[in-house]
A and B are shown apart, each in its own frame.
Chain A
């Protein structure tokens, strides 16, 4: 009996030792383009220099990050590090790296501008850094426009101008639709703001749907009904499910596509030299020509058993040289202040469309409006995005009127706020 007990105790001890084994760091990662390969390469170098730390990169679909990671976090589980886009709402699960960092000031100096996006309100924690800054914006199939003999709308062209021009291309080139927008509340928020929308009320809580949101959303619904916007992207799912229209742009099924800067590498890889494309910035509304800033951050998870090792990995990945190389190879806009200020990024690509596209995004980043700039650090942004996409797609499917949709959006958001109390 005593022997059995001893064996069981030894087994339990070895199991515990395994789960708390120092030197193991798991990273949950998703990719839009080639960044999975790039980060693996960088981590291999880190492990070569730090043989006592084993970093495992779990490449997962974006859907896993959106849907499964929050459940893991709520149950006190999860990876040690994750690449996420829902930065603020889940901020209570991020680890404050300050006690483990060799030089916290380096982080404040270089990533301070976005630090609030990924920490609870009122906190001064350092929880991670942006692997890329993104900005929503449009892409046009230059070749299709040229073949149709339609001039690309200029710098201050409105949404109406872009849709009109794209509709001419659609008619001439027999494309499936004039344009497409990803099925995402985030994606239509820049355009909403361009028409004067402000989601944030005076008390910091969600405001009711205003005339700005109504103005753009009504246009969107009308364009869908007229067959100008690619209907299937928005209508082919229920709830707040994300759907990208990138493949339709890549397959030349739509001459104009509104998404964001993170698509540059994806478009470059998949389009190759099939046709020429350009980034257009965000079309204008009545209040401005705003996109929506954002991006993906690499954050440390507070349930990690190895915070010291996690901090070492994070310090390496956030170092100036690594950020610069990562940005150059992934074609992502860097968030590192020194890297941006020093400039001189040499994008690793032979695609002649990429450089001008990234330049266009950098240029249009100066056009974002304050109501848009406030959203990445706003706790209720995800709830707002979710309600918008759920209800507007129901209107597009002919299931409810716009007036009913506004009431339902307000109700959905109010329910979410009440639930958090």
Chain B
């Protein structure tokens, strides 16, 4: 009974598809004859490029013009052209290492915080992801379950992540309750500068490590088993196996992880914004939040200045992306040679 229904359904679906294919075939063939293979590629890429142009390129260009204007007006025509004034204001510093000497001290504070966050978060994320991937790659009990557990936070909205950890870390939160229950002193985790910064890094690692662990797990599984068997027969110690076999062969995946983590760390915003609001003071104020605050949220709103800051941040991201592409190409060439 099932087979005839399946066949009937298949025929019902196939008929319009077949009709559509025969209908579009002649014009496509004509287009290919006229423009060649490159023309066909351009034809199929056009919709994607159009979306990119409307939603990425155009806002980028508009943003660039915004950064050369001043005022609160929304439409460019209503704004005052100020040239490079916003950039000059951002770079007006006695010492770039001391944000308090800068006219836009909050921008440089955000740059400093972001730099420190990137260094700590990328290092921690990489180490934790490698360790987790190594463990999950072993024959442990309920391996699939543990893989799902570590990947689960990736599925959560950053706002949910921020709220969950806020409930845990706030003054009357779960962590302090637990400390109090066992007779320990509660701590203001989100009010003290050091612990708030640590919390921001840790929560960010917790939220995203599942994704990077997955990449490294795929890299680990691509390493030929016979290399490990040969090492085992030679009686090689596990640490030496890791340094001499696992790590070198994992390097392409590791580079991807490092660069992707780096890019995402520079863009950090949502979960930290919900968790700490940039506080205490400006201890966890990162670049994206600075841009958001100055552009939209602050009572001292200045869209032009926010646009200039976002252009500078965009430039950093472009450099990082180019490095990623370059490393990717190098990996491909190396793979092809081998």
B299 and A185 contacting across the interface, CB-CB below 8 Å: yes
Interfacial residues of chain B within 160-217, with CB under 8 A of chain A in the complex: 170-172, 188, 190-191, 193
- Given A75-B74, A241-B297, residue A232 in contact with residue B278 (CB < 8 A): no
B151 to chain A, nearest CB (A): 31
B281 and A397 contacting across the interface, CB-CB below 8 Å: yes
Residues of the B chain whose Cβ atoms lie less than 8 Å from the Cβ of A408: 105
A394 and B71 contacting across the interface, CB-CB below 8 Å: no
Interfacial residues of chain A within 364-421, with CB under 8 A of chain B in the complex: 382-383, 385-387, 389-390, 393-394, 396-400, 404, 408, 411-412, 415-416, 419-421
B191 and A231 contacting across the interface, CB-CB below 8 Å: yes
- Given A71-B74, A408-B105, residue A396 in contact with residue B281 (CB < 8 A): yes
Contact of A238 among B75, B80, B190, B279 (CB under 8 A): B279
In the complex, identify which listed stretch (B14-22, B35-43, B240-248, B282-290) lies at the interface while the others stay far away. B282-290
Chain A interface, >50% SS class: helix
B53 to chain A, nearest CB (A): 21
Residue B116 is within 8 A (CB to CB) of chain A in the complex: no
Residue picked from A236, A408, A416, most chain B C-beta under 10 Å: A236
B171 nearest CB neighbor, chain A only: A232
B300 and A411 contacting across the interface, CB-CB below 8 Å: no
| Residue count of chain A within 8 Å CB distance of chain B | 45
B299 and A419 contacting across the interface, CB-CB below 8 Å: no
- Given A383-B300, A411-B103, residue A238 in contact with residue B74 (CB < 8 A): no
Residue A272 is within 8 A (CB to CB) of chain B in the complex: no
In the complex, number of A-B residue pairs with CB atoms less than 8 Å apart: 111
- Given A67-B296, A397-B280, residue A238 in contact with residue B289 (CB < 8 A): yes
Residue B298 is within 8 A (CB to CB) of chain A in the complex: yes
Residue B301 is within 8 A (CB to CB) of chain A in the complex: yes
Interfacial residues of chain B within 260-303, with CB under 8 A of chain A in the complex: 276-285, 289, 293, 296-302
B71 and A420 contacting across the interface, CB-CB below 8 Å: yes
Hey, what's the 0/1 contact readout for B134-177 against A, CB within 8 Å counting as 1?
00000000000000000000000000000000000011100000
Residue picked from B75, B289, B293, most chain A C-beta under 10 Å: B293
Residue A25 is within 8 A (CB to CB) of chain B in the complex: no
Residues of the A chain whose Cβ atoms lie less than 8 Å from the Cβ of B84: none
Hey, what's the 0/1 contact readout for A137-152 against B, CB within 8 Å counting as 1?
0000000000000000
Q: How far is B285's CA from A382's CA once the two chains are assembled, in angstroms?
A: 22
Residue A74 is within 8 A (CB to CB) of chain B in the complex: yes
Residue B72 is within 8 A (CB to CB) of chain A in the complex: yes
Hey, what's the 0/1 contact readout for A197-217 against B, CB within 8 Å counting as 1?
000000000000000000000
Residue A157 is within 8 A (CB to CB) of chain B in the complex: no
Hey, what's the 0/1 contact readout for A59-88 against B, CB within 8 Å counting as 1?
000000011101100111000000000000
A240 and B300 contacting across the interface, CB-CB below 8 Å: yes
A70 and B301 contacting across the interface, CB-CB below 8 Å: yes
Q: How far is B191's CA from A231's CA once the two chains are assembled, in angstroms?
A: 8
Residues of the B chain whose Cβ atoms lie less than 8 Å from the Cβ of A236: 190-191, 276-277, 279-280
Residues of the A chain whose Cβ atoms lie less than 8 Å from the Cβ of B171: 176, 232
Residue A239 is within 8 A (CB to CB) of chain B in the complex: yes
Q: How far is B293's CA from A232's CA once the two chains are assembled, in angstroms?
A: 20
Contact of B299 among A235, A382, A397 (CB under 8 A): A382
A389 nearest CB neighbor, chain B only: B299
B287 to chain A, nearest CB (A): 12
Contact of B100 among A383, A400, A416 (CB under 8 A): A400
Q: How far is B293's CA from A220's CA once the two chains are assembled, in angstroms?
A: 25
Contact of B293 among A239, A251, A253, A398 (CB under 8 A): A239
A398 and B277 contacting across the interface, CB-CB below 8 Å: no
Q: How far is B301's CA from A419's CA once the two chains are assembled, in angstroms?
A: 10
Contact of A385 among B106, B191, B299 (CB under 8 A): B299
Residues of the B chain whose Cβ atoms lie less than 8 Å from the Cβ of A235: 191, 279-281
Q: How far is B304's CA from A253's CA once the two chains are assembled, in angstroms?
A: 42
A110 to chain B, nearest CB (A): 30
B262 to chain A, nearest CB (A): 24
- Given A67-B296, A232-B191, A239-B298, residue A419 in contact with residue B70 (CB < 8 A): yes
B300 and A386 contacting across the interface, CB-CB below 8 Å: yes
Residues of the B chain whose Cβ atoms lie less than 8 Å from the Cβ of A237: 276-279
Residue picked from A235, A238, A400, A421, most chain B C-beta under 10 Å: A238
Residue B57 is within 8 A (CB to CB) of chain A in the complex: no
B297 and A67 contacting across the interface, CB-CB below 8 Å: yes
B295 to chain A, nearest CB (A): 9
A225 to chain B, nearest CB (A): 13
- Given A232-B188, A232-B191, residue A419 in contact with residue B279 (CB < 8 A): no
A71 nearest CB neighbor, chain B only: B296
B2 to chain A, nearest CB (A): 42
Hey, what's the 0/1 contact readout for A231-259 against B, CB within 8 Å counting as 1?
11001111111010000000101000000
In the complex, 11 of the A-B residue pairs with CB atoms within 8 angstroms, ordered by the A residue number, are A68-B296, A74-B74, A76-B74, A232-B188, A236-B279, A238-B281, A238-B284, A394-B282, A400-B100, A419-B70, A419-B302
Pairs A-B, 7 closest by C-beta atoms: A397-B281, A386-B299, A238-B278, A237-B277, A74-B74, A75-B74, A238-B285
Given contacts A232-B170, A383-B299, 11 further A-B contacts (CB under 8 A): A71-B74, A76-B75, A239-B285, A240-B299, A241-B277, A397-B193, A397-B279, A397-B280, A398-B281, A415-B300, A419-B72
What residues of chain A have their CB less than 8 Å away from a CB belonging to chain B?
Answer: 66-68, 70-71, 74-76, 176, 185, 231-232, 235-241, 243, 251, 253, 382-383, 385-387, 389-390, 393-394, 396-400, 404, 408, 411-412, 415-416, 419-421
